[in-house]
Amino acid sequence: MISGSLSAPLSRRDVKESAILWRKLFLDSLRESSHGASRQAGVDKLREKLGGKRYLLVLDDIWNEDRLAWDDFESAMAGINPNKGNVIVVTTRLQSVASIVNTYRDPYTLKVLTNDECWSIVKARTFGDEEVPEQFEIVGKEIACKCGGLPLAAKTIGGTLRGKEVGDWVSVLQNGLSNPDLEANQNSVMQVLKISFDRLSFPSLKKCFAYCSIFAKDSKIERDDLIQLWMAEGFLPDNPENSLESLGNRFFNILLQNSFLQEAVKDKYGNIIHCKMHDLVHDLACSVSNSESFNAEDRSTDDIPKVRYLAMKSLGTETQAITEEKASYVRTLFLQSSLPDKILPWFKHLHILKLCDAYFKDPRHIPSTASRKAMRLE
């Protein structure tokens, strides 16, 4: 979306025509055949419309990382109106784009909203300027905490709750976006978040992101551990110019720059130790994993689906939750607590075995596929 706002009075038609010309000029700058009579005609029309006026131009959600294209557009804008006081504001989800278009000051990174700010959005969407009844406010503030600081989530949930009874609010608080009444709005949130996923450059990078769904929500994800897991699963393609560790670091940084990973904690040397994944982004990872991943740490394990990547608290007293057929399909297994030796051989195609506070009596039962690739005890 590109919108223009001029400091001197113009007719609504002039503003609309200028915005259209701006948009065409910007898009033409991103195409190889951008230099021609039609482009120059657009520049001339903009110069005629603006004259000596100052302008504010907002380029929203920019993805193009071509520095030459940006330089070309910037030169064209300078030719249209060289007066001081003109401003171009660019918003983007990519740190690389922010670095390319940066000319005046360091990019400003938006932080997530506070719970109070999320509540103000929910409140505005549900009650407008009216006073909020106490029982709604109590539940609403707790619902705002579920938004995770995302204005889109707050706006979506607020729109759904408009006109509903307090019982419906309590239902949302208890069930979150899994509430059937919120299915359409949940899809709208996922569609917005999935735009960033679809823009990831490599299919292997998308696999690495989807694999993160195996971690529990709000859990710390160790950077080095994650890269080793990607390597063991074979997600990182061989590259004679770069080691697998280097490629893993690159993929990790891309996910971090695109806000798929967040809350990065660094050591005293500036190296990232661990990070987290936003709950809604985790939902996206689960969605794009095509049901290949299942984390049973925070849910009932009465029935475990047939998945490749599995995380569980225990297999000791709940062996009925997984069959030999399902076990043979698993490639990654995260497990807490004890590990029955009689069940371990079922995981005959295991690539990764990660045991957290777990033990087993006879290591000979460990599948050979896992011992050759990755096994970790914590």
Residues 50 and 92 grouped into a single domain: yes
0.85 exceeded by the pTM? no
Residues 280 and 295 grouped into a single domain: no
- Residue 110 inside a domain? The answer is no
Query: In this model, does residue 315 exceed pLDDT 70?
Result: no
Residues 209 and 184 grouped into a single domain: no
Q: Which domain holds residue 249?
A: 200-287
Are 313 and 296 within 8 A, CB to CB?
yes
- Residue 109 inside a domain? The answer is no
Are 311 and 297 within 8 A, CB to CB?
yes
Are 81 and 56 within 8 A, CB to CB?
no
Residues 22 and 95 grouped into a single domain: yes
Mean pLDDT of the 59-71 span: 82
pLDDT tens digits, residue range 117-162?
A: 999 999 998 999 899 999 999 999 998 887 878 887 788 788 778 8
Query: In this model, does residue 355 exceed pLDDT 70?
Result: yes
Residues 14 and 79 grouped into a single domain: yes
Instruction: Give the three-state DSSP class for 201.
Output: coil
- Residue 354 inside a domain? The answer is yes
Q: Which residues are registered as beta bridge partners of 90? A: 59
- Residue 107 inside a domain? The answer is no
Comparing 330 with 376, the larger pLDDT belongs to 330
Please state, in angstroms and as integers, the Cα–Cα distance from residue 266 to each residue in 198, 230, 346, following that order.
Answer: 29, 21, 39
Query: In this model, does residue 58 exceed pLDDT 90?
Result: no
Comparing 207 with 6, the larger pLDDT belongs to 207
Query: In this model, does residue 371 exceed pLDDT 70?
Result: no
Residues 47 and 28 grouped into a single domain: yes
% of residues, the chain, pLDDT over 90: 17
> What is the average pLDDT score of the chain?
76
For residue 221 the two structure tokens come to 């994800």
For residue 101 the two structure tokens come to 């278009």
Residues 138 and 186 grouped into a single domain: yes
Residues 7 and 94 grouped into a single domain: yes
Comparing 356 with 240, the larger pLDDT belongs to 240
Residues 184 and 214 grouped into a single domain: no
Domain boundary among 174, 193, 212: 193
Tokens 């990070």, residue? 275
Instruction: Please calculate the CA angle 208-214-219 and round it to the nearest 5 degrees.
Output: 105
Report d(CA 356, CA 222) in Å as an integer.
14
- Residue 106 inside a domain? The answer is no
Report d(CA 153, CA 120) in Å as an integer.
13
- pLDDT tier, 204 (very low <50, low <70, confident <90, very high otherwise): very high
Domain boundary among 47, 68, 101: 101
For residue 311, the surrounding DSSP H or E stretch is: strand 309-312
- Residue 108 inside a domain? The answer is no
Residues 282 and 320 grouped into a single domain: no
Please state, in angstroms and as integers, the Cα–Cα distance from residue 138 to each residue in 14, 34, 166, following that order.
Answer: 48, 56, 10
Looking at the structure of the chain, the number of domains it has is 4
Highest average pLDDT, of 117-121, 190-194, 197-201, 240-244, comes from 117-121
Closest CA to 234 of 332, 92, 112: 332
Comparing 66 with 321, the larger pLDDT belongs to 66
Domain boundary among 175, 193, 211: 193
The radius of gyration of the chain from alpha carbons, rounded to an integer in Å, stands at: 26
Q: What is the CATH number of the domain that holds 265?
A: 1.10.10.10
pLDDT tens digits, residue range 231-275?
A: 988 889 888 888 899 999 999 998 887 778 888 889 988 899 999
Sign of CA dihedral 99, 100, 101, 104: positive
Are 277 and 221 within 8 A, CB to CB?
yes
